[in-house]
Chain A
């Protein structure tokens, strides 16, 4: 096969694999959030067990990228696509880990009497889910503006996380017997807020792939 055609084929394959991982990560996050909101321990357990597949595809993508670098000595857009994909897979794997952490909270909380949920938790979850979906869409479509909008939304996630924490702390001060569940709620909010942070990393990777602009650590500014 002609070298350029070979590279194009491999780059298409890379994109497909990144999207496969993205779909798995999104499912893990959505299931973990759903399980948390309704305290469904079975669904939470499935998220925990499913993480091994996300880890496995991350390893496969690492190997795939390594081979592409070694065998095709990519330049310019190809090089950025590979480096950007490596960043994306690393961040998606971490999102998978946060989904697992959230699922562990759910498994624990499902063994205790339910604690009323702060409505902000639902809002925070929705923001994180949308940020992930949009990051994936921005990657598929090479949409830099959409990617940039993800960065902006991270502030809303941070604010909601802070509000939830304040509310739960206040509740715990009022009623100390809810302290254990309250801590799990605070940690759950933290896991979701971390997902939002990681989505900004995905958005930064998309901008890097498309435009070659490095906005790491400046994304939310």
Chain B
């Protein structure tokens, strides 16, 4: 397994509150890594460390090492805009801009300084294809994105993230607001996208983690309890707390 992201003894604080404690975790390149655990366990906090989204919250502090391609994400000279281009993110609720479908996807390349219209049009098409949305929207690219269904809006947000060619895609419960068919499309998409990207997904659905991920990490009370190949973690966990959580004995 080639390591794309590596955390070594990572602690994270919201003010005085230690939300993450001593997290050492390797995230494999072109793999899907699922983060599971009960609410408040730190999995979303960890996810948001990976592109420094937590910087937007006042009073937060990270200690330890978090490496992307062996470079420290939290180093003083890191440009967070560049970091967030390399490490894209999709959220729980689809959040398209109140613009056209085309403009939503073109937004990223534009703010990155690309002006060539043909290049942008090609990038929009490519991203929508990669997000498995092109066939459904190619005839209405200039309609409002808000007219799309929830599942389509979420795939549009994925297309928007893909348009800046990220290396890592963070997904924070990307299908929790979707019906089973839309969920399946997102999961199918994850299988396709991992050929090009490294994916880290937070999910409350253990079945979803089992279906989409190569490795699963179980967080509890700010600590990484266990990480293993997904098939091993869900059939033969080593830690009692993992077993208790995934069999519904607590959480």
Contacts and interface: CB of A to CB of B under 8 A. Distances in A.
Interface string A43-86: 00000000000000000000000000000011111111000000
A75 B247 contact: yes
Contact of B243 (A3, A4, A76): A76
B247 A76 contact: yes
Interface string B212-251: 0000000000000000000000111100001100111100
A172 interface: no
A212 B248 contact: no
A73 B242 CA distance: 16
Interface string A196-221: 00000000000000001000000000
B137 interface: no
B207 A79 contact: no
Interface string A1-38: 00110010000000000000000000000000000000
B232 to A, nearest CB: 9
B229 to A, nearest CB: 13
B236 A75 contact: no
Given A3-B248, A4-B249, A78-B247, A73 B235 contact: no
Interface centre among B210, B234, B236, B243 (most CB of A within 10 A): B236
A80 B231 CA distance: 13
Instruction: Summarize A's interface: helix, strand, loop or mixed.
Output: helix
Instruction: Summarize B's interface: helix, strand, loop or mixed.
Output: helix
Interface residues of A, number: 12
B93 to A, nearest CB: 25
Interface centre among B207, B237, B242, B247 (most CB of A within 10 A): B247
B193 interface: no
B246 A76 contact: yes
A74 B247 contact: yes
Contacts of B148: none
Interface residues on B, range: 10 to 19
A212 B232 CA distance: 10
Nearest to B243: A76
Contacts of A212: 235-236
Contacts of A79: 234-235
B248 A80 contact: no
B206 interface: yes
Contacts of A73: 206-207
Contacts of B207: 73
B230 to A, nearest CB: 11
Nearest to A213: B236
Contacts of B242: 76
Contacts of A7: 247-248
A75 B235 CA distance: 6
Contacts of A80: 235-236
A80 B235 CA distance: 7
B235 A76 contact: yes
Contacts of B243: 76-77
Interface in B187-222: 206-207, 210
A7 B247 CA distance: 9
A73 B207 CA distance: 8
Nearest to A72: B248
Given A212-B235, A212-B236, A77 B247 contact: yes
Given A80-B235, A212-B235, A75 B249 contact: no
Interface centre among A4, A76, A79 (most CB of B within 10 A): A76
Given A75-B235, A78-B247, A79-B235, 14 more contacts: A3-B248, A4-B248, A7-B247, A7-B248, A73-B207, A74-B247, A75-B206, A75-B246, A76-B234, A76-B236, A76-B237, A76-B242, A76-B246, A80-B235
8 contacts: A7-B247, A73-B207, A75-B234, A76-B234, A76-B247, A78-B247, A79-B234, A80-B236
Interface of B: 206-207, 210, 234-237, 242-243, 246-249
Closest 7 A/B residue pairs (Cβ): A212-B236, A75-B246, A4-B248, A76-B243, A75-B234, A78-B247, A76-B246
